[in-house]
Amino acid sequence: MNILGIDPGSYNCGYAIINSEKNNINLIEAGLIKTKSIDFKGQILELIDGLDIIFKSNKIDDVAIEDIFYAYNPKSVLKLAQFRGVIICKIMQEFDNFYEYTPLQIKKSITGNGKADKNQVSFMVRKILGIKNEIKPFDITDAIAIAIAHHNFNR
């Protein structure tokens, strides 16, 4: 089963595709959809184009996305919610279904601690996948963690 994990973001949207068979997890592809446009409409179109490339160039069985989290800046939360809405709309057009996980659920599934920091999540993602080198930026690590969490919740 190939699982696409998506960490929504307005400038950097992390994505990762893992293959999970029973207890074996292998990373197929991971990266960022970077938006370069300054205006919101341009960013939306770049995000849609990036998702389209990922969807068309990979076999994907399930899609998991991080649920929105509370931030201190309401304007940032609203913008993230809009980008997340675009991502969900594109997913629904292609796959009819997706799964959502809160940051707490993802962290707990990966590290055993729902309050783990990004370094702890990154360490465990690398350990689970047998990767020695650091994975940067955290948007990519988070996307991998989302895909692994979906695997863990559906075993």
SS3 144: helix
Place of tokens 């940051």: 103
26 membership: H or E segment, kind and range: strand 24-34
pTM of the model: 0.95
In this structure, are residues 18 and 25 in contact, taking their beta carbons and an 8 Å threshold? yes
pLDDT over 80 at 10, yes or no:
no
Asked if 100 is an active-site residue, the reply is: no
Three-state DSSP state, 29: strand
Whether 139 sits among the annotated catalytic residues: the reply is yes
96 catalytic, yes or no?
A: no
Identify the band that residue 71 occupies on the pLDDT scale cut at 50, 70 and 90. low
pLDDT tens, 80-117?
889 999 999 999 999 988 999 999 999 999 999 999 99
pLDDT value of position 70 = 65
Q: pLDDT digit string (tens) for 25-46?
A: 999 999 999 999 989 999 999 9
Name the token pair of 77.
């939360």
pLDDT score, position 83 = 92
- 82/116 Cα distance (integer angstroms): 27
Q: What is the CATH number of the domain that holds 102?
A: 3.30.420.10
What radius of gyration, in Å, describes the C-alpha atoms of the chain? 15
Residue tagged active-site, from 7, 49, 61, 96: 7
Q: Which candidate in 67, 117, 139, 142 is catalytic?
A: 139
pLDDT at 96: 84
Structural domain for 120, as ranges:
2-153
CA distance 7 to 15: 6
Query: Domain tally for the chain?
Result: 1
21, 66, 100, 142: the catalytic one is 66
CA 107 from chain centre, in angstroms, equals 13
Which residues 6+ apart lie within 8 Å of 154 measured at CB? Answer: 62
